[in-house]
Amino acid sequence: SNFISSYMDNGERCDKFLEHARSLKGHKFFRVYRVDFVGSASPDGPEKLNEQLAKKRADNLVKYLHKKVEFEDSVVFVSSVTEDWDALEKVIKADKNMPHRDSVLKVIADSELGRFREKELKQRYPQSWSYMSQNYFGQLRNFTIYMHVGIDAPDTEDYHAEEDILILPEEE
């Protein structure tokens, strides 16, 4: 799960983030309160491996960006989403062509299945699992940056905003 700036439009997305971050860091009234780097993995594959991949994605992105813009350590937070079932659910809901869509969504929503959802989906809906593998899983293997910014000016109330930036890793 290396960060490859030439993959898809990662370089462009990073440049946009860096430009924005530098402009905020140089502004006398804005202050970056927190920067969250989150690595995510798709639900396919062993959970332990997905956990390692998601964490590595976030760590690699931080290393890459840290060379280009520095944030105080106290505002940088790194985390990971081991298997992003919520994101998978969103893309399935948006795709009317998904085979067995409603049934698959019921399995995903079944919290009692927990880590056995993958097995259940593969066994009961192999065509759907193949469709998800071809159409969704790549986009769930990603990094996201959340930058929390506030106004630091006299005579103004505190104002906070958040910006999400999604960056995709190299395909596995």
Strand-strand pairing, 76-81 and 30-40: parallel
Find where tokens 């910006």 sit: 163
d(Cα 5, Cα 1) in Å, to the nearest integer? 12
* Percent residues over pLDDT 70 in the chain: 87
Tens of pLDDT, residues 78-88: 999 988 999 99
Q: Concatenated DSSP letters for the chain?
A: ----TTSTTHHHHHHHHHHHHHHHHT-SSEEEEEEEEEEE--SSS-HHHHHHHHHHHHHHHHHHHHTT----GGGEEEEEESS-HHHHHHHHHH-TT-TTHHHHHHHHH-TTTGGGHHHHHHHH-HHHHHHHHHHTHHHHS-EEEEEEEEE--TTS---EEEEEEEE-----
| pLDDT number for residue 12 | 86
Q: Is the pLDDT of residue 172 over 50?
A: no
| pLDDT number for residue 137 | 93
Q: Write the single-letter amino acid at 134.
A: Q
Q: Which residues pair with 30 in a beta bridge?
A: 151
Give this prediction's pTM: 0.77
Supply 141's token pair: 């293997």
Average pLDDT over residues 126-134: 97
Q: Please, which pLDDT band fits residue 171 given cuts at 50, 70 and 90? A: very low
Q: Is the pLDDT of residue 158 over 60?
A: no
Q: Please, which pLDDT band fits residue 162 given cuts at 50, 70 and 90? A: low
Average pLDDT over residues 31-45: 88
d(Cα 145, Cα 111) in Å, to the nearest integer? 27
d(Cα 133, Cα 22) in Å, to the nearest integer? 37
Cβ neighbours around 39 below 10 Å, total: 27
Supply 47's token pair: 């959970």
Cα torsion 46, 166, 55, 86: sign:
negative
State the average pLDDT for the chain. 84
Tens of pLDDT, residues 62-98: 888 888 888 888 989 999 998 899 999 999 999 999 9
